Structure 1
Amino acid sequence: MAIPGISFQTIDPATAPDPNRMDIALFAGFVPLRQRNVPAAVRRQLAETGWDFRLSDTNGELIDVPVRLDSLSEFVNVFDGAARPDRIAHITSLALPEEVTVENDAVDVTVVVDGHVVHLQLPAGTLPRDEVRARLATALDGLVVVSFVEEADATFLRLERADRTTAGHITIYLNPAIGFPRSSTDRTQLVGCPLAAVVGAFFAAGGKTCYVVRLGDPLPLNASEAERVQQLSTLLTGEEGAWPAARFISDLIGLRPRPPASASADRTDWHGLGVLNGLEDVSFVSLPDLPDLLASGAPGYGTADPVRGVPEIFQECSEASDVALDGSSHLLTPPRSDSVGLTVWWTVVKWLASSLRRTSFEHMAVLSLPLPDDTINDAYSDFLDDLFTREPFENPAHDPQFAQVVFPWLKGAGAETLPGGIMPGEGYFCGAAGRAALERGVYRTVAGRPAPQVAGLVPSDASGLNRDMGPGRRLSLFGAGIGGTQISSDVTLSEDPDWHPAAVKRLMAMIFRAARHKGELSTFEPSSPRLWRDIERNIGGILRQVYLGGGLRGAREEDAFSVTCDMTTMT
């Protein structure tokens, strides 16, 4: 029966995850939302997977939840990967005295913000500078944040565009009385963010499904070191303000982040990478923002504050901006790390590998090696060799097999919107490995596979890192092939020859996952010879499929594997 004003729509239920898949990646990091209202399809997905409670915790914002995506178009519908501000537009005056003298010809103050023209008339005479700031703040409320900056026993007036997330500009017209001897303009333009580029490369390489755990908006490119350190704490812990005392990357030397919450903890305590406890089908774990947050601030990458105190700083920024008006982000220098940043990066790699080992044997961290800055560029291989030797894994027999490190960085495949037009290679690598797992089996290496979407490598010589010797042996490298770029090596960080090939780790993770699912069906069965035989048969069936597919060596099945479940295997 039709009811006036009410219509019904049939919606197919969300596809249940296939726990036996070994191709799915999880990307955690920072990316803007395309819209603040959570799309209906995503809201429904979160409700069906038990994550909708967090929407209430975050006032409806899509943050700290795993969003499952089966295509790049689904990502684009939810996230705006090209909306990272290059800077927060602001203008800083010359030093102001405590008492500001306003002549009759300087009573008018004109500020333009994104096309909004604001006129303020100051009274002629002498005004305390605090009153000047207060009058400006009232007139520009909602458009501009007006504050004082103290530096070197001097006080400067700072006008900062209030909107920190969209492109726009701020202009103040000449007014020497309040510290602006000429008209000045600054603007915010938008560039891409690492997480979006890496997810795009994942799908470009043939990846089919991934999860994105958004932990907030990305910082502007010229964010201060203190801001980047605090965002790194959010990335690793899933919570803001986890390291309140840390202001510099050097403060993180010797860092020991707490591990993600375990599966036994309440779901409400699963933050950041802790959401892996609720995802049975993830194989690869990636943190695309890590190199960006540990950058040393090399020349051309941006600075936290403009130079103050000399009239020459007041220039139109549109001509000198690092990002051209057409969004040519290739003019920016990509993030590079010095010895301190790389030491902290290595600490994070070891921590993540150890955390994944404790969480599940089925996961593999895939991270990108940062680019070196000028202080270590000429001796990068020697520096890494020393770092890997000087700072070994806490559990060297097991932890290294849970991580792959990818290098060099990639051109093309969606990197055009990032600084320098290059991006970390981990997303493409995960996509290629995932595609190979679906098409050829997880036990096949991806070394030698072409990477046709990759237009070039930076650095082109992989900083002298060789897959056959030195620290390069522990890296999964891209390189030049006969027909173009290819994946040259596919290895874990382990130096154990049994666990060095990454395909071995992926194969064992697949066997472990399949065995776990078989065992879950027998969890409440009484222990008996009948159950033991069922387990032997089930696990044997899994290994037989691997053997027939070429994943195990042996002229005969009995030479390749055996399964025993009896009193001799029990404690």
Structure 2
Amino acid sequence: MALIFETATPGLRTAPERADVACFVGFIARRREQPLPDAVRQQLREAGWVDGPWRQGTDALEALENVPVVIDSWALFDRLYAWDQRPVGRAPDPVSGKPMHCATYLGAAVRSFFARGGRRAVVVRVGDPWAFLESASARAAKRRARLGRLLPGFDHGAGVARVFDPLDPSTWQGIEHLAGLDEASLLCMPDLPDACSTEPRLPPVGVALAPPPEGFVECSEEESPLPVDTGLRALLAPRLDSQGYGPWRVAVAAVRGFLARHQREVLFIGALPLPREDARRPLSDGGVHAHSDMLAFLRRSGVFEADGQHGASELSVASAFVQLGYPWLNTTQARDLPENLEPPDGVLAGLLAGSALARGTHASAAGDISVPRLRDVQSAEPVPGWGAGPSSPAARLAERVCLFAPQAGGWALQSDVTTSADEAWRSGGVSRLMATLLRAARLRGQGVLFDGNGPATWSRLQRSFEDLLKGFWRAGALSGATPQEAFSVRCDRSTMTQNDIDNGRLVTEITVWPAHSIERITVVLALASAGVGRSDAREVA
């Protein structure tokens, strides 16, 4: 008799108000030698991808391309996806003669997500990764198509329409799968900076050897072998020139717009790309150093709104839906990446997910240097100069970007913020709190969609929301000495006109005072008799 062990796979459904699930969309290969586990196949069958109305062919299903897969462990991810098999270039290794490979940025992000507190993820594979050492002409020619895999419609020309039906999964591609992922709270696209970068810069002629760790130990016959130098440390991580920031900014703005229209309960967790020195020099006075005012550069280049401009243009990344991590991190696990640097979005998503599970999604994930999850961060590019006062370049950048910086005792996340130009939406905890409230409001509203639109239903819905908000207030998510000071709920004739009532529309107005906000914020939940619920709170700032 033989015993066969198989990694268990979670079901599709989880707690509806859970706020720690991340969706990863990007380029990664499928491990073809590994057959699709029965548990994963059953998961896809329950979602309708096997024999449902939007079923796929056998080959497409085995490839797991453009199919959302729920992952609850690094072991399952490692079994399904060849995350460590991205080709470096066409030339083989001069020493071994074998093709050179590095890790994918999607794989590194998922690895960091689980290592730093994440428990559940959804992976959408949009294609195989491209070779890291690719010519500038090849990258430029394929950039739009690659971004189109992540953001459908990005590769379409002006006037070319594309069909996307939020109720028809057969039309979904890339991030459009969020339309059917009600449990997802965070979105990561780790390949975005690399897809927008130009030709990778050649490494410097002389590369200093990494110094061995200091220390004196007794001689041992079982000493751990030194880490193998794969040569990846000499390859420079992707950096954007002035031409690269344009597509990246447009792509992030497209993500922001999609979330605002179709999934207001999700936050985009991205990595702020590293700039090339020649990208910032024309925008400064006589050139800048890597540690100078990055925020000023981003404003001048149009990534953020210009100084004194409160609102954001359509191509600005300033939004309550966006959190960007910076700088890129050198961790003990990043030896399989170029320059041994990983984008910070996977690390940030893991910290946010872990904080949501431990302290609530409203709590800031910044400032706790005692958390052992960051002790594997050895350095970063660039290393921000923290502690020089509130007017320092690093402190100014931390007002709009989730900044990692060294402190006494190790590296820590110094700021947990969105990129919003509106200070009321600047706190990352406030934005995540409102997203959680929107999800909770939608779920409670769906429970009365088919009830009579009258005072009895209004009172029942109002009590349900009041009980929900009291729980948030007791958890410290809302300010105020009493529940009456922390929030208010109205669902009566003052929130609806007679025309609303006659046409089956139910409108509930919820006003809350988040603990980390400078002003009260109002959520409006509108339910229609046709069974469609709509909740509005966050604006694209």
- The bucket for the TM-score relative to the shorter chain is 0.7 to 0.9
SS across alignment from 1:479: strand
Identify the residue that residue 46 of structure 2 maps to in structure 1: 48
Contact 1:26 1:213 in 2 (8 A): yes
Aligned positions of 1:510-549 closer than 5 A? 510-549=436-475
Aligned positions of 1:93-104 closer than 5 A? none
**Bigger CA radius of gyration:** 1
Identify the residue that residue 219 of structure 1 maps to in structure 2: 130
Aligned positions of 1:444-523 closer than 5 A? 444-450=363-369, 451-461=374-384, 466-469=393-396, 471-523=397-449
Identify the residue that residue 66 of structure 1 maps to in structure 2: 68
Contact 1:284 1:363 in 2 (8 A): yes
Residue 296 (str. 1) matches residue 193 (str. 2): no
Q: How far does residue 564 in structure 1 lie from its aligned partner after superposition?
A: 0.9
Residue 432 (str. 1) matches residue 351 (str. 2): yes
* 1:42 maps to amino acid: V
**Shift in CA distance, 416/503, structure 1 to aligned 2, threshold 3 Å:** same
Matched positions, count: 440
Aligned positions of 1:190-229 closer than 5 A? 190-229=101-140
Identify the residue that residue 337 of structure 1 maps to in structure 2: 240
SS across alignment from 1:273: helix
Contact 1:205 1:453 in 2 (8 A): no
Q: How far does residue 270 in structure 1 lie from its aligned partner after superposition?
A: 0.8
Identify the residue that residue 389 of structure 1 maps to in structure 2: 305
Q: How far does residue 215 in structure 1 lie from its aligned partner after superposition?
A: 0.8
Tell me, which stretches of 5 or more residues in structure 1 are unaligned?
1-6, 90-166, 171-184, 246-254, 303-323
Q: How far does residue 65 in structure 1 lie from its aligned partner after superposition?
A: 0.9
SS across alignment from 1:468: helix
**Shift in CA distance, 256/327, structure 1 to aligned 2, threshold 3 Å:** farther
Q: Could you tell me how far apart the structure 2 residues matched to 1:169 and 1:551 are?
A: 57
SS across alignment from 1:25: strand
Q: Could you tell me how far apart the structure 1 residues matched to 2:190 and 2:119 are?
A: 18
Q: Could you tell me how far apart the structure 2 residues matched to 1:357 and 1:487 are?
A: 27
Residue 551 (str. 1) matches residue 477 (str. 2): yes
Residue 401 (str. 1) matches residue 320 (str. 2): yes
Q: Could you tell me how far apart the structure 1 residues matched to 2:177 and 2:77 are?
A: 19
TM-score, normalization by structure 1: 0.70
SS across alignment from 1:68: strand
**Shift in CA distance, 199/413, structure 1 to aligned 2, threshold 3 Å:** farther
Identify the residue that residue 319 of structure 1 maps to in structure 2: none
Q: How far does residue 511 in structure 1 lie from its aligned partner after superposition?
A: 0.8
Contact 1:234 1:240 in 2 (8 A): no
Contact 1:64 1:271 in 2 (8 A): yes
* 1:340 maps to amino acid: Q
Q: Could you tell me how far apart the structure 1 residues matched to 2:119 and 2:330 are?
A: 22
Identify the residue that residue 97 of structure 1 maps to in structure 2: none
Contact 1:467 1:489 in 2 (8 A): no
Identify the residue that residue 370 of structure 1 maps to in structure 2: 273
**Shift in CA distance, 290/396, structure 1 to aligned 2, threshold 3 Å:** closer
Residue 243 (str. 1) matches residue 170 (str. 2): no
Contact 2:143 2:196 in 1 (8 A): no
Contact 1:202 1:430 in 2 (8 A): yes
For residues 397-433 of structure 1, what are the alpha-carbon distances to aligned partners after superposition, in whole Å with 9 as ceiling and x for unaligned? Answer: 9971000111001111532201000110001101100
Percent of aligned pairs with the same amino acid: 31
Tell me, which stretches of 5 or more residues in structure 2 are unaligned?
205-226, 281-287, 498-541
* 2:28 maps to amino acid: V
Contact 1:236 1:257 in 2 (8 A): no
SS across alignment from 1:54: coil
Select which of 357, 368, 372 maps to 2:260: 357
Identify the residue that residue 415 of structure 1 maps to in structure 2: 334
Contact 1:366 1:403 in 2 (8 A): yes
* 1:270 maps to amino acid: W
* 1:386 maps to amino acid: R
Contact 1:23 1:282 in 2 (8 A): yes
Q: Could you tell me how far apart the structure 2 residues matched to 1:243 and 1:397 are?
A: 19
Q: Could you tell me how far apart the structure 1 residues matched to 2:37 and 2:108 are?
A: 22
Residue 22 (str. 1) matches residue 22 (str. 2): no
Q: How far does residue 333 in structure 1 lie from its aligned partner after superposition?
A: 1.2
Q: Could you tell me how far apart the structure 2 residues matched to 1:513 and 1:257 are?
A: 33
Which deviates further from its counterpart, 395-404 or 547-556? Answer: 395-404
Identify the residue that residue 78 of structure 1 maps to in structure 2: 80
Identify the residue that residue 158 of structure 1 maps to in structure 2: none
Identify the residue that residue 252 of structure 1 maps to in structure 2: none
Identify the residue that residue 32 of structure 1 maps to in structure 2: 29
SS across alignment from 1:86: strand
TM-score, normalization by structure 2: 0.74
Q: Could you tell me how far apart the structure 1 residues matched to 2:416 and 2:159 are?
A: 28
* 2:155 maps to amino acid: W
Contact 1:331 1:419 in 2 (8 A): yes
Q: Could you tell me how far apart the structure 1 residues matched to 2:228 and 2:362 are?
A: 48
Q: How far does residue 541 in structure 1 lie from its aligned partner after superposition?
A: 1.1
Q: How far does residue 473 in structure 1 lie from its aligned partner after superposition?
A: 2.2
Q: How far does residue 238 in structure 1 lie from its aligned partner after superposition?
A: 4.9
Contact 1:88 1:187 in 2 (8 A): no
Contact 1:410 1:423 in 2 (8 A): yes
For residues 485-518 of structure 1, what are the alpha-carbon distances to aligned partners after superposition, in whole Å with 9 as ceiling and x for unaligned? Answer: 0000011111211100010010011111111111
**Shift in CA distance, 239/479, structure 1 to aligned 2, threshold 3 Å:** closer
Q: Could you tell me how far apart the structure 1 residues matched to 2:152 and 2:13 are?
A: 32
Q: How far does residue 353 in structure 1 lie from its aligned partner after superposition?
A: 1.0
Q: Could you tell me how far apart the structure 2 residues matched to 1:260 and 1:487 are?
A: 41
SS across alignment from 2:434: helix
Select which of 243, 246, 249 maps to 1:346: 249
